[in-house]
Structure 1
Amino acid sequence: MNDAHWHLVVNHFPIIGGILGLGILIVGLVLKNSTVKNTAYILFVVAAIFAFVSMATGEAAEELVEDMPNLGHQIIHEHEELAEKLALLLYGTAFFSLLSMYTDVEKHKYAKTISIVTLLLAIGSSVVGTFVGNSGGEIRHTEIRENGTNAVPSKESVTTDNHKE
């Protein structure tokens, strides 16, 4: 398996893990259940680890696909920029998740505040994650692009279009 394949294998978990963690955290906060909240916190840490792996394989995956027909450097660059933002958000969410678990166990007076910060980071991660997933999908799934201007036409399609005239 090459880096592009590894990237495709691991890149879904930071997005899906973040969204699932958000839902679990909301339930944990509503129920005031530490076990449910801790489950979400652990999921955020695992999502951040997968984000790190996804970022590590992303550059090599880019090198493998950037010169393919119907791909433009701009669409890949946009995906990369969004992915970097998501990774930072997930790293922050993971850090505050660990801090939330610690303060909850220690019954610290700021435990609830830190949990709310974790929740806000998780919301941000989920929103940015949906944009990252969509932009990643647009790289190879031209049918989901809003407009065709992001794609560079292949030599065959330019030749075929010129012969139609």
Structure 2
Amino acid sequence: MNNTHLHLVVNHLPIIFPVVGIILLVIGIFTKTEVSKRNSYFIFILGALASIAAMATGEGAEEGVENLPGVAESLIETHEEAAELFAGLSYILGGISTVALFASFRNYIFSKIMPFTVVLFALATLFFAQKAGTTGGEIRHTEISSTGTSQIIGEDIKKESNHHDKE
């Protein structure tokens, strides 16, 4: 298994964990179940750890695909920037969740507002998760990128035109 494959295996986890965490946290808020809230905090922490893994494999994945036909360096750079921002927010979400988890166990007064703080920050983080995921997908899935599709179609038209000129 190379770094590109490993990146593809782990890169969805930092996006999936916050989605699951938000669902569980909202359930915990409405049912006033501390166990659900604590489990969601733990899931956000796992998401931050998964972001570390995704970022650690990203550079190797870049080296593995940057010379493939149809892969634009600009798409890789756009994804890298989006992923760095999302990872940073994911780390902060993990940190806030760690504080919320500790406050919940210690029954601190501010633990009552922590679920709302965490869910709002998690929703904001998910916005950037979508950007990182979409820009990553555009690198090899030209069907979701109008830019990538037009670049490849343009290259195909040039190749076909050159082929007809040779005949």
Q: Secondary structure at the residue paired with 1:70?
A: coil
Contact 1:72–1:152 at 8 Å: present in 2 too? no
Query: Per residue, is there more helix in 1 or in 2?
Result: 2
Determine the C-alpha separation between the residues in 1 that align with 2:97 and 2:150. 37
For 1:126, the aligned partner's letter is L
The answer for the alignment partner of 2:3 in structure 1 is 3
The answer for the alignment partner of 1:44 in structure 2 is 44
The answer for the alignment partner of 1:92 in structure 2 is 92
Q: CA RMSD in A?
A: 2.0
Determine the C-alpha separation between the residues in 1 that align with 2:14 and 2:148. 28
TM-score by length of 2: 0.90
Contact 1:82–1:128 at 8 Å: present in 2 too? yes
Q: Deviations over 1:97-123 (max 9, x none)?
A: 111111112121111233322112211
For 1:89, the aligned partner's letter is L
Which runs of 4 or more aligned residues in structure 1 lie more than 6 Å from their structure 2 counterparts after TM superposition? Answer: 152-156
Percent identity over paired residues? 35
The answer for the alignment partner of 1:67 in structure 2 is 67
Structure 2: any 5+ residue segments left out of the alignment?
Answer: none
Q: How does 1:1-165 map to 2 (within 5 A)?
A: 1-148=1-148, 151=151, 158-164=158-164
**Structure 1 residues 104 and 10: alpha-carbon distance in aligned structure 2, compared to 1, 3 A threshold:** same
Q: CA deviation at 1:148?
A: 3.5
Contact 2:7–2:61 at 8 Å: present in 1 too? yes
Determine the C-alpha separation between the residues in 1 that align with 2:63 and 2:152. 16
Contact 2:14–2:50 at 8 Å: present in 1 too? yes
Q: Which moved more, 1:110-119 or 1:152-161?
A: 152-161
| Equivalent pairs, count | 165
Q: CA deviation at 1:147?
A: 3.1
Q: Which moved more, 1:144-153 or 1:51-60?
A: 144-153
**Structure 1 residues 150 and 163: alpha-carbon distance in aligned structure 2, compared to 1, 3 A threshold:** closer
Structure 1: any 5+ residue segments left out of the alignment?
Answer: none
Determine the C-alpha separation between the residues in 2 that align with 1:82 and 1:150. 22
Determine the C-alpha separation between the residues in 2 that align with 1:102 and 1:122. 18
TM-score by length of 1: 0.91
**Structure 1 residues 128 and 99: alpha-carbon distance in aligned structure 2, compared to 1, 3 A threshold:** same
Determine the C-alpha separation between the residues in 2 that align with 1:80 and 1:150. 22
Determine the C-alpha separation between the residues in 1 that align with 2:93 and 2:38. 13
Q: CA deviation at 1:71?
A: 1.0
Determine the C-alpha separation between the residues in 2 that align with 1:143 and 1:56. 27
Q: Deviations over 1:22-81 (max 9, x none)?
A: 111111112111100111111111111111011000011101111211111111111111
Q: Secondary structure at the residue paired with 2:68?
A: coil
Q: Secondary structure at the residue paired with 2:8?
A: helix
Determine the C-alpha separation between the residues in 2 that align with 1:70 and 1:16. 28
Q: Secondary structure at the residue paired with 2:113?
A: helix
